[in-house]
A and B are shown apart, each in its own frame.
Chain A
Amino acid sequence: MYDVIIIGSGITGAFIAHFLAKYDIKVLVLEKDVEVSDGVTKANSAIIHSGYDPKPNSLKAKLNVLGNKMYGDITKELNVNFKRIGSYTLAFDKEEEVQLKKLYQQGNKNKVETYLLGKKELRAKEPNIKETVRLGLYAPTTGIIAPWEIVYALLENAIYNGVELKTNHEVIDIKKEKNIFCVKTKENTYYTRYVINASGLFAHKITQMVTNDVDYEMRYTRGQYYVIDRGYDDYVNSVIYPTPTNKGKGVLIVPTIHGNILLGPTSEIVDNPNDTEVTKDGLHYIKEHIDYMMNHTPYKGIIRSFSGIRPKTSREDFIIEELKDVKHFIQVAGIESPGLASAPAIAKMVEDSLLKKEQLPMKSDYRVYKQKNLKISEKPIDEINRLIKQNPKYGKIICRCESITEGEIIDAIKGPLGIKTVDGIKRKVRPGSGRCQGGFCQPLIIEILARELKVRKTDILLNNVGSNILIVETKQSGGEK
């Protein structure tokens, strides 16, 4: 019997688990995929927006501004990379200029620090902005983060402090009997007093399991991106936004925390929450819009394209509330952008609503689990040699594009989260995210995973069930040698 079951291990579920971990209660996180952070949280712009953009007085505005503030302390506490690199929102014609001035007012209302800058100042800060620029809005608090890194850190800390996590556990039904929820997965049934639905693109499906009264529709909105290799640092220093339209924030340029650059996203309605395709038209659209704002875009450095789906709903704001007809079922739905930026504040709001219902005792032995965040190759030589003496595997480079060692990979497999897949390793320690996209290191990663997990190489998955990379050992296949 659990006190709280959280459905979903994206950034929303992870922050909630983190905040509940300090209480002396039984908490379980259920995740349908093999690895955590595999939903909306794995594919987005990775910006901790400053908060001038959402409509004043909306939940989005309130939680974005508060969330942005909370990131500094939390990332320091857990030792996760986070940088406030600031952002420029640009206007290229009269209309956009008017719109930008309105945004500046809105920023003031939302209590976000912003400045209007002219062409000269803008081009001095970001020389690759086109000469056609007329006005820019500078927001110094805009930050960048690797969303899955913070999720891993939050969940590892939660697990370390007693929260349970079960991946590959899809919730297929929920029943409420008296005051207890029976949460069914394919394998098992779990009992709990509270359910928190943080299931991203599937939030309405989970809510439908307990009520017929779902008062919103999902509007899955896909965003496609290009990723540019590291090493183009002189292209931009900050996040660059166009003037937003009613379609959203538009196509951006985002330096990532690991030194890559993202170009995107598009914004297209799709029928299906799994429709993470990239399309010719979409990729073309990105280039067109980037070229409107910027000179010297290093398209030559493109190493990857991907897409993510926004869980937009007809209510257009975050939906964070206990169901009226099902007490103790808290729905956290419609967490589209600025969902990453708001996540700590969203979780705080959920925590507060639980605290309103009952007194939760604190754990006496709560201790923070800090990320090791080794990055061997970035350390001073003496320290590297000290680490290699302790564990020679820190001396063996597996991923040459990103200089990741075997020791770091084994740490990820043996850590509290227990990474099991090739994509999981890639998100946790980055091998395969460089220029060669795993061309050199994937065979080595499979070998290490199989050895450490004591399974066959053919059992190793790229990401989800059914995504095996090696099919048969050739000794057994039909052909001749």
Chain B
Amino acid sequence: MMNQYDVVVIGGGAGGMSSALGAYQNGAKKVLLVERDIELGGILQQCIHNGFGLHHYKEELTGPAYAERLKQELMDTEIDIKLQTTVLKITKDKEVHMMNEKDGYQVIQAKAIIASNGCRERTRHQIDIPGKRLSGIMTAGLAQRYLNIDGYLVGKKVLILGSGDIGLIMARRMTLEGAKVLGVAEIMPYSNGLNRNIVQCLHDYDIPLYLSHTIAKVSGNDRLEQVTLSEVDEKFQMKEGTNKTFEVDTLLLSVGLIPDNKLLTDISVKMNPITNGAYVNDKYQTNIEGIFACGNSLHVHDLVDYVSEESYEAGKNAANYVLHQNKVKQNIINVKSSDHIHYVIPNQIMLDNKNVAFKFRVTKPMEKALIMIKQGNKIVIEIKKRHLLPAEMENVKVNKKVFKYDDDISIEVKGV
């Protein structure tokens, strides 16, 4: 006999824990949470800095403390949890194939599946860093894990490429552990990290930020010895005569995160090429009924609070799907990103009287901007913003009553 569950959640990070809670607290009886690691928490476990939970718990927590809160909530439920268990594949009929040391290879039949298995880091190979393949070049998140979980430093003299948050946080963390961080280089003319991180992680430690710079070359024998930076012009071409050479043994890359979606692409879930996550409607359901996606495997979040919020909703919707098989096809309309909007989630909404949260990022930093949510050519909502940054995801809640027609919805911004 196959094991049966109402909802199976893949991944025990903030997203997975929150969606399991969402499913359970909204009526799903048998819920299973599957996590490959030895404990729950996901990426939060290695984020030992402060800055989590300001929205969700109204206080500033470290990553592990935030995870602990969610774990406590889970303990008060009857949600089944399987640790050290990896999901190998899922099927369109919602079988979940998983494996661990104790139970071996198991196939579970779910009524709904929530994919919340996080993201991976972009590596040097996806950004064509010229030079040899050397020890001492690694992604910043990996270095963070070595330092905060395993207790090892990966180098003593460090340069960081990419001003994403992980890079900034690692600049401070490595400095505190006695390494010398010589600088952070960023190819864009602006930083890709949260403002508070630029101030608290770089300025406070006099670590220079080289904007509009990229790597001309890395060299060394078996271990990295030198990194050469070059300034770039507006077209990202290196400018002659602007090379600066740094004697370093370590280069950390913080050049972006990519939602990890092999499980979904294997069963041909429709994917958004911009986010690398699934296309979802406002129930966080993918184009395959009963398969939901949320958290960093749907789109990369900068704040865990939004991961929790989104994933709780996804869990709730999965429970509703299981309980009511709500196939009532309401008016479905598409949501598109337009001028200066990089992407928007959800990609479809159902017209009813409920609220929807539009999440989107702008394509470039903007001062004094006007966000417009349009239906057809009509502007339905306008929001003024002092600053907009690609690094900061916008989260706009709207009551769907305002959409009165069945034209597509689009979101755009313009400077004012």
Binding site for B on A (CB under 8 A): 227, 231, 274, 276-280, 283, 300, 302-306, 377, 381, 384-385, 388-389, 392-393, 395-397, 400-401, 403, 435-440, 442-443, 447, 457-458, 461-475, 477-481
Given A280-B130, A389-B104, is A471 in contact with B153 using a C-beta cutoff of 8 Å?
Answer: yes
Given A395-B101, A463-B222, A467-B134, is A437 in contact with B177 using a C-beta cutoff of 8 Å?
Answer: no
Partner of A381, one of B100, B105, B265: B105
Q: Is B126 an interface residue (CB 8 A)?
A: yes
Given A397-B99, A439-B121, A480-B176, is A474 in contact with B222 using a C-beta cutoff of 8 Å?
Answer: no
Bound Cα distance A438, B123 (Å): 10
Let me know if A471 and B152 touch, CB within 8 A: yes
Bound Cα distance A305, B127 (Å): 10
Partner of B88, one of A397, A462, A468: A397
Q: Is B187 an interface residue (CB 8 A)?
A: no
Given A397-B86, A437-B125, A439-B142, is A473 in contact with B105 using a C-beta cutoff of 8 Å?
Answer: no
Given A304-B125, A393-B101, A466-B221, is A400 in contact with B153 using a C-beta cutoff of 8 Å?
Answer: no
Let me know if B133 and A469 touch, CB within 8 A: no
Q: Mark B146-164, 1 if CB is under 8 A from A, else 0.
A: 1101111111100000000
Partner of A397, one of B36, B125, B178, B262: B36
Q: A227-B125, A466-B223, A469-B138 are in contact. List 11 more A-B contacts (CB 8 A).
A: A231-B262, A280-B130, A393-B101, A397-B36, A436-B120, A436-B123, A458-B152, A468-B135, A474-B151, A478-B178, A480-B176
A residues within 8 A CB of B103?
A: 395
A residues within 8 A CB of B176?
A: 479-481
Contact size range, B: 35 or more
Partner of A469, one of B102, B135, B217, B262: B135
Q: B129 → chain A, closest Cβ, in Å?
A: 8
Partner of A280, one of B36, B128, B156, B179: B128
Let me know if B153 and A472 touch, CB within 8 A: yes
Given A277-B131, A439-B123, is A384 in contact with B151 using a C-beta cutoff of 8 Å?
Answer: no
Q: Mark B220-234, 1 if CB is under 8 A from A, else 0.
A: 011100000000000
Let me know if A475 and B151 touch, CB within 8 A: yes
Q: B13 → chain A, closest Cβ, in Å?
A: 13
Let me know if A474 and B152 touch, CB within 8 A: yes
Q: Mark B236-251, 1 if CB is under 8 A from A, else 0.
A: 0000000000000100
Let me know if B120 and A479 touch, CB within 8 A: no
Which of B102, B156, B223 has the most chain A CB atoms inside 10 A of its CB?
Answer: B223
Let me know if B179 and A401 touch, CB within 8 A: no
Partner of A467, one of B107, B131, B223: B223
B residues within 8 A CB of A447?
A: 150
Partner of A388, one of B104, B152, B221, B223: B104
B residues within 8 A CB of A304?
A: 123, 125
From B175, which residue of chain A is reached at the shortest CB distance?
A: A479
Q: Is B84 an interface residue (CB 8 A)?
A: yes
Q: B99 → chain A, closest Cβ, in Å?
A: 5
Q: A442 → chain B, closest Cβ, in Å?
A: 7
> Closest 6 interchain pairs by CB?
A478-B178, A479-B178, A467-B135, A479-B177, A392-B101, A397-B86
Q: Is B30 an interface residue (CB 8 A)?
A: no
Given A278-B131, A304-B125, A468-B135, is A395 in contact with B100 using a C-beta cutoff of 8 Å?
Answer: yes
Interface secondary structure of B, over-half rule:
mixed
Q: B66 → chain A, closest Cβ, in Å?
A: 20
A residues within 8 A CB of B142?
A: 438-439, 442-443
From B221, which residue of chain A is reached at the shortest CB distance?
A: A466
Q: A281 → chain B, closest Cβ, in Å?
A: 9
Q: Is B315 an interface residue (CB 8 A)?
A: no
Q: Is B145 an interface residue (CB 8 A)?
A: yes
Q: B45 → chain A, closest Cβ, in Å?
A: 12
Q: Is B139 an interface residue (CB 8 A)?
A: yes
Q: A392 → chain B, closest Cβ, in Å?
A: 4
Q: Is B132 an interface residue (CB 8 A)?
A: yes
Q: Mark B280-312, 1 if CB is under 8 A from A, else 0.
A: 000000000000000000000000000000000
Let me know if A396 and B155 touch, CB within 8 A: no
Partner of B100, one of A396, A461, A462: A396
A residues within 8 A CB of B260?
A: 435-436
Q: A282 → chain B, closest Cβ, in Å?
A: 9
Partner of B36, one of A227, A302, A400, A465: A400
Let me know if A474 and B153 touch, CB within 8 A: yes
Let me know if B120 and A385 touch, CB within 8 A: no
Bound Cα distance A473, B133 (Å): 24
B residues within 8 A CB of A470?
A: 146, 150, 152-154
Query: 20 A–B contact pairs at CB < 8 A?
Result: A227-B125, A274-B221, A276-B133, A278-B128, A283-B128, A303-B125, A395-B104, A396-B84, A396-B101, A400-B86, A435-B262, A437-B125, A439-B120, A439-B139, A443-B146, A462-B135, A467-B222, A471-B249, A475-B151, A479-B179
Which of A227, A381, A474 has the most chain B CB atoms inside 10 A of its CB?
Answer: A474
Let me know if B178 and A477 touch, CB within 8 A: yes
B residues within 8 A CB of A277?
A: 130-132, 217
B residues within 8 A CB of A458?
A: 152
B residues within 8 A CB of A466?
A: 135, 221-223
